[in-house]
Structure 1
Amino acid sequence: MTGNDTTPPPKLHPVYSVSNIQHKVRVLDGVKVTYSAWVKLFKLHARGYKVLHHIDGTPPPAETDATYSEWCEIDAHVLQWIYGTLSDDLLSDASEDESTTAQAWNRVKNIFTNNKGARPALENEF
């Protein structure tokens, strides 16, 4: 590197600044933390850390796109956020191998909105 190099260093994506998502989003258990409260808080942080497009239905870039590799890496971080903010019971129901963040987000949503089991009834009582 020469003294004349004025190229600024590449900016690190904000997602990399989160070391423990549980300090920002509480663990969803369906009792103390309801699904609707968790969604609001998670989306707030996703927007603030510029990753909302990983959960809002925006399609990923094509595999041939130059940004696809970076998108996959960031998606893995956001997927860790989801898994890291689920109770043990929900984690076993929502996690799958080779999942994208959007797929996991929809699995959690389906647990609470498809009237499966007692969770939706519990949330409605509160």
Structure 2
Amino acid sequence: VQARVHDVLDHIIIPTEAQEKASYEKIKVDDPALWKRLDVVVLQWIYAIVSTDILTSILIDDDSAKNAWKSVVALFQDNKNSRAMYLNK
């Protein structure tokens, strides 16, 4: 919700529609300092909402919000597969 409110969702989920993707790339190139600052805001938000265990497993120096988000998603996907295997036993 916060990412939508502040219009920074594209920092974690890159647009797939051609026009939106072109706009995303243009903003990123036209003002890289603003882009980096907003990316760090989103990264800080991700770090603030996850548990300490998850934080320690995704924390990387000079990471981007997109990469941190992908790491969180991967952790939950791994857990989902493990739980499914456990339930099938």
TM-score normalized with structure 2 length? 0.71
1:77 and 2:37 aligned = no
- RMSD between superposed Cα atoms in Å: 2.6
- Among the aligned pairs, what percent are the same residue? 32
1:1-126 alignment to 2 at 5 Å? Answer: 44-58=1-15, 61=25, 65-115=29-79, 121=83
Check whether the contact 1:75–1:100 (CA below 8 A) recurs between aligned residues: yes
Q: TM (normalized to structure 1)? A: 0.52
CA shift at 1:86, angstroms? 1.1
Structure 2 residue runs of 5 or longer lacking an equivalent are: 16-20
Residue 72 to residue 61, structure 1, CA distance change in 2 (3 Å): farther
Q: Tell me the SS of whatever aligns to 1:97.
A: coil
Question: How far does residue 66 in structure 1 lie from its aligned partner after superposition?
Answer: 3.0
Larger Rg: 1
Q: Please, which runs of 5 or more residues in structure 1 have no aligned partner? A: 1-43
Q: Greater helix share, 1 or 2?
A: 2
Give the match's secondary structure for 1:110.
helix
Structure 1: how far apart are the matches of 2:48 and 2:79? 24
